[in-house]
Amino acid sequence: MNTFPLFFKLTNQPVLIVGGGEVAQRKADLLSRAGTHITILAPDISEEIKQLLSDDKHSLIAEQYDKKYLTGKRIVIAGTDDEALNHQVHADCQALNIPVNVVDTPPLCDFIFPAIVDRNPIVIGISSNGKAPVLARLTRARLETLIPQGYGKLAKLAGDMRDEVKSKIPTLTGRRQFWEKAFEGKVSELMFAGREADAEQALKQDLAATYSRLLNQKTDNGSDTDLDNQTNIGEVYIVGAGPGDPELLTFKALRLMQQADIVYHDALVSDAVLDLCRRDADKVFVGKKRSNHAVAQQGINQLMIDAAKSGKRVVRLKGGDPFVFGRGGEEIQALRAAGIPYQVVPGITAAGAASCYTGIPLTHRDHAQSVRFVTGFLKSGEPNTGFAALTNPEETVVFYMGLHSIERLTKGLMDAGRDPNTPIAIISQASLPTQQVMTGTLQDIVAKHEANPLPTPALLIVGAVAQLHDELAWFGENIVDTDQQAHALNMI
């Protein structure tokens, strides 16, 4: 280590900032959050600083620098654009043994301002020792995505309960096991979900139950009781995995995937997404493809129930969004009937991904004032034939699971009265590097697809908005319209 990380207690401590511009403002903003008493020393002090430090505990001195203002200061920051002055401040602080930071000048810094992830009282500082501050900032951004905002509240609750836990669980091993269960289980999930009172109540209940078991199971020689032998009911997380691109996962989805004991996943969950699950979790494929179900839905429900009853944290990882043709509703009905606690995490549904990644807006003031999501097949396996409700020319229709029945769907729409020249797009493997798009009209898209079939998974977008693809497309590979291709060859 070139520098040793330390955390200073600066609450109510006097701090001097030499400089009154933007740099000084950034440091003042950061230090004010730590509860410091800030003195700004500069002949010209910006209005932004005056507004930021408007209360009585801060001082604004509109004068030239004088080393007399260093007296009694805990730390000093020099943030001026005068290099000679910055060197003078550094030299004066060295003589008085006061830690000093000269902004953007690492050789003149006794301490460094790190990039900070603040989950008070949990605080993380990241530093590159002045070598690559942008990289430190990007590292901080990545950590921000991985650490829930509720971590601070969880830490505060643990601090409030620490003495009570210590009094009721006498061994270090026992306390460690208790806190591990709290921080990785129901208590943390309740806190992260914003249910602070429920989290506190759950922690107190867990402590009471643990204390009771310890009293009943204490051995004659007073050895530690292994809390891992205590079986509690687990929980099920119904998680939307999105369209396949792992960068489109939500923060919450990633966090729950990282703590799962077992993962039941669909065929539409990409390998890249599955790789983000906890490395040592059991991963069980229960996918469904057309006319080929690895595990029937009732079997999946029972697998989740049995795993949760054995105390496991279960992730049901589903492509797209669990509540958009994902059977998530059926699964939580089964969990609820069995008394299993659960959470549902939304994902980016295929229609949203296909729309954005192809430049086909599902609604557009000039073309479509509404959008309808439709499945190609009903629960019984029978084809969906409700075409009469899908003829509005100002409405976009998205067909899920419709590629294998595209001829029936397009004919049904035209027979119901939809214009044969209505634009349509087939989007295959939306958002992935293998994404492909084919455009046409209701009357010619079947022939185009037969000539150049696209792989599944794919969906259909029907409506005037589909014609915007050529203008707005920005990602992936397009299947060139055969008429356009012929015209291009004639021009050569």
Which residues belong to the annotated binding site for NAD(+)? 22-23, 43-44
Residue type, 27: K
Question: Which of 252, 288, 309, 411 is the catalytic position?
Answer: 288
Question: Which of 266, 312, 318, 448 is the catalytic position?
Answer: 266
Rounded distance, CA 39 to CA 31, Å? 11
Rounded distance, CA 203 to CA 297, Å? 35
- Does the active-site annotation cover 379? no
- SS3 assignment, position 478: strand
Order of strands, sheet of 75-78, starting from the edge strand that comes earlier in the sequence? 59-61, 37-41, 14-18, 75-78, 100-102
Q: From the annotation, which residues make up the binding site for S-adenosyl-L-methionine?
A: 243, 319-321, 324, 349-350, 401, 430
Residue 213 is encoded by which pair of tokens? Answer: 């078991």
Neighbouring C-beta atoms of residue 258, cutoff 10 Å: 14
How far is CA 73 from each of CA 10, 15, 16, 84, 400, rounded to the nearest angstrom?
11, 5, 6, 21, 66
268 contact partners, CB below 8 Å, separation of at least 6: 241, 244, 287, 318, 319, 320, 457
Specify the residue for token string 């019984």: 380
170 contact partners, CB below 8 Å, separation of at least 6: none
- Does the active-site annotation cover 153? no
Rounded distance, CA 198 to CA 181, Å? 16
H/E run at residue 424: strand 423-428
Rounded distance, CA 441 to CA 454, Å? 16
Neighbouring C-beta atoms of residue 366, cutoff 10 Å: 9
Strands 262-265, 235-240: pairing is: unpaired
Q: From the annotation, which residues make up the binding site?
A: 22-23, 43-44, 243, 319-321, 324, 349-350, 401, 430
Residue 220 is encoded by which pair of tokens? Answer: 């004659």
CB under 8 A, 24+ apart: contacts of 32-40? 32/58, 33/118, 34/10, 35/10, 35/11, 36/10, 36/11, 36/12, 36/74, 37/12, 37/13, 39/14, 39/15, 39/69, 39/73
99 contact partners, CB below 8 Å, separation of at least 6: 74, 75, 76, 93, 110, 111
Active site residues: 266, 288
